[in-house]
Amino acid sequence: MNTPIVKYRDLGPLDYKACWDYQEEIFKSIVDQKIFNRNHPEEARITENHLLFVEHPPVFTLGKSGVEENLLADKGTLKQRNATYYKINRGGDITYHGPGQIVGYPIFDLDHFFTDIHKYLRYLEEAIILTIADYGIVGERVEGLTGVWVDGQDPEKARKIAALGVKCSRWVTMHGFALNVNTDLSYFDLIVPCGIDDKAVTSVEKELGKKVDEEEVKTKLLLNLQNVFDFELS
Cα(37)–Cα(31) distance, integer angstroms: 10
* In the chain, beta strands by DSSP E: 5-13, 50-55, 59-62, 84-87, 94-97, 101-107, 139-140, 148-150, 159-169, 172-180, 200-201, 232-233
- CB of 160 closer than 8 Å to CB of 125: no
Active-site residue, from 150, 194, 204, 217: 194
β-pairing, 59-62 vs 94-97, is antiparallel
- CB of 152 closer than 8 Å to CB of 200: no
What radius of gyration, in Å, describes the C-alpha atoms of the chain?
A: 18
Cα→Cα distances 22→13, 29, 97, Å: 14, 11, 17
Residue 19 bears catalytic tag: no
Query: DSSP alpha helices (H): ranges in the chain?
Result: 16-39, 75-80, 117-133, 204-208, 214-229
- CB of 4 closer than 8 Å to CB of 112: yes
Cβ contacts of residue 28 below 8 Å, gap of 6+?
A: none
Cβ contacts of residue 24 below 8 Å, gap of 6+?
A: 174
Active site residues: 194
